């Protein structure tokens, strides 16, 4: 697929000076959308540069992701895009979690849904039970009275050879209590503000890259 071309526009009204880039294949602006003054092109059209994938950064340990009863197709699409970038081996969509077959998924996944291995399971508790029995270490990302900081893992990553499975839950109700009972560890992301949680897609990004970083630095 060809990369789109962009053009920077700036409002000529000195009291406004709105400046933004737009995809030339979709939009061309002659008037400012705020003050309706003429718009001026700034510089030449450009493409958005892409950094070559760093294959050498992929870890050798398997890392899978379970999405337990998520509700938002936009969140799931964003998670698929992040999971592809983080090198996740497989995504399990559990319960009511939308799958890549949903037409709204592509809005935030931007094609990652076709690059990431995935499957659907109606019962996430049974899925996690089977995965744990097969040898996976289950890490539930949830803030509870028993949870520990993601940045202070309660196990030695350097000695850990079991496949890792990260579980995230519904945006409102959280992870199924049945999963929390059988998880090896319950982890939370420390919060400095008044809010006690992050958007689930943001949380997945923080957790995946933290686990990948720790794993990559543990494997010499």
pLDDT of residue 62: 80
Domain ranges of the chain: 5-47, 57-218
- Which pLDDT score is estimated for 51? 52
pLDDT on residue 183: 96
Average pLDDT (102-117) is 68
Q: Which residues of 115-150 are buried (b: 16+ CB within 10 A; e: fewer)?
A: ebebebbeebbebbeebbeeebbbbbbbeeeebeeb
pLDDT value of residue 218: 47
pLDDT confidence of residue 214 = 77
Angle 87-205-173 (CA atoms, 0-180°, nearest 5)? Answer: 120
Residue 176 DSSP label: -
Check residue 55 and give its pLDDT. Answer: 52
* Residue count (the chain): 220
pLDDT at 58: 47
DSSP of 94-160: ETT---TTSTTTHHHHTTGGGTS-EEEES-HHHHHHHHHHTTPEEEEE---TT-EETTS-SS-GGG-
More confident residue, 38 or 191: 38
pLDDT for 100 equals: 86
Average pLDDT, stretch 108-130? 83
| Domain 57-218, CATH | 3.40.1280.10
Residue 86 CB neighbours (<10 A): 21
- What pLDDT shows up at residue 184? 95
- Predicted confidence (pLDDT) per residue in 125-164, tens digit: 999 999 999 999 999 999 988 899 999 988 876 667 788 9
Phi, psi of 213 (to 5 degrees): -65, -45
pLDDT tens per residue across span 67-92:
999 989 899 999 998 998 888 999 99
Give the C-alpha separation, 19 to 124, whole Å.
47
Taking the model in full, what pTM does it have?
0.78
pLDDT tens-digit series, residues 8-65: 999 999 999 999 988 887 777 889 999 999 999 999 988 876 555 555 444 445 899 9
Environment class of residue 166 by beta-carbon count within 10 Å: exposed (0-12), middle (13-18) or buried (19+)?
buried
Helix axes 73-86, 200-218, angle to 10 degrees: 10
Question: What pLDDT is stored for residue 117 in this prediction?
Answer: 87
pLDDT at 220: 38
């Amino acid at each position: 697929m060809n990369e789109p071309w962009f053009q920077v526009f700036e409002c000529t009204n000195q009291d406004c000076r709105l400046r933004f880039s737009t995809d030339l294949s979709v939009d061309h602006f002659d008037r400012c959308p705020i003050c309706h003054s003429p718009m001026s092109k700034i510089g030449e059209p450009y493409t958005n540069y892409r950094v070559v994938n760093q294959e050498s950064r992929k870890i050798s340990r398997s890392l899978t992701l379970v999405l337990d009863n998520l509700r938002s197709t936009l969140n799931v699409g964003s998670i698929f895009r992040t999971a592809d970038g983080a090198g996740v081996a497989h995504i399990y969509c559990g319960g009511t979690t939308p799958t890549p077959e949903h037409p709204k998924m592509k809005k935030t996944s931007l094609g990652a849904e076709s690059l990431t291995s995935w499957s659907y399971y109606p019962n996430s508790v049974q899925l996690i039970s089977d995965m744990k029995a097969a040898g996976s270490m289950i890490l539930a990302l949830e803030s509870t009275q028993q949870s520990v900081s993601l940045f202070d893992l309660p196990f030695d990553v350097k000695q850990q050879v079991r496949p890792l499975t990260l579980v995230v839950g519904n945006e409102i109700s959280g992870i199924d209590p049945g999963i929390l009972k059988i998880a090896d560890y319950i982890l939370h992301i420390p919060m400095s503000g008044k809010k006690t949680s992050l958007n689930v897609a943001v949380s997945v990004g923080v957790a995946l890259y933290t686990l990948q970083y720790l794993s990559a630095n543990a494997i010499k």
